[in-house]
Amino acid sequence: MRAVVERVKRAEVRVEGRVAGRIDEGLLVLVGIATGDTRECGQALAEKIVNLRLFEGEQGAEPIDQPGPPRGRMQRSLLEKGGSVLCVSQFTLYGDCRKGRRPSYDRAAPPEVARPFYEAFVESLRQLLGRSGARVETGQFQAMMEVELVNDGPVTLLLDSEKLF
């Protein structure tokens, strides 16, 4: 599984002009499923995401012009902060552009295989965040979606269950 994780001020996804999911502060997670992925991959990725320290500490961030490593920045996880998650399926994360000019999606799991893994991943996020008060919203699997976000930072990270990056 692969994920693009973006810290956002707000984000929403629309399908056919209707809002399918909307969050305020939190994380936008674009997730792709590969052939060979397992539910354990999804569980591990969900645990990584909710525990990543991507949010400011209690005292806020020090000014950027201070010498030394930044203190106050990225001290709290989503579990600690209590923000929300907008999770959107995106098979194109497995697009291979190394040859030619058209991406190959050979590594992306077909929809009938990917859907249950995506749904299990979303359920893992919900279970992990359940007690924190964080909401998990989603797009619509296998639909053309419009995703709109206001990136906070910007902070954008790439995660891969095979730990390729």
pLDDT of 134: 84
pLDDT of 29: 98
Helices assigned H by DSSP within 24-156: 39-51, 78-81, 111-129
Burial 84-123 (b: 16+ CB within 10 A, else e): bbbbbbbbebbeeeeeeeeeeeebbbeeeebeebbebbbe
Contact residues for 133 (Cβ-Cβ < 8 A; gap 6+): 82
Q: Tell whether the model's pLDDT for residue 48 goes beyond 80.
A: yes
pLDDT of 165: 76
Across 73-88, average pLDDT: 93
Least confident span in 20-29, 52-61, 119-128, 156-165: 52-61
Q: What is the mean pLDDT of the chain?
A: 92
The model's confidence at residue 164, banded by pLDDT at 50, 70 and 90, is confident
pLDDT of 131: 80
SS3 52: coil
Across 64-93, average pLDDT: 83
pLDDT of 92: 97
- Paired residues of 23 in beta bridges: 11
Percent of the chain surpassing pLDDT 70: 92
CA distance 149 to 9: 8
Q: Tell whether the model's pLDDT for residue 60 goes beyond 70.
A: no
Across 59-70, average pLDDT: 57
- Paired residues of 10 in beta bridges: 150
Q: Which residues are designated catalytic? A: 90-92
Across 17-36, average pLDDT: 97
SS3 131: helix
Which class is domain 2-58+71-159?
alpha beta
Least confident span in 12-21, 56-65, 125-134: 56-65
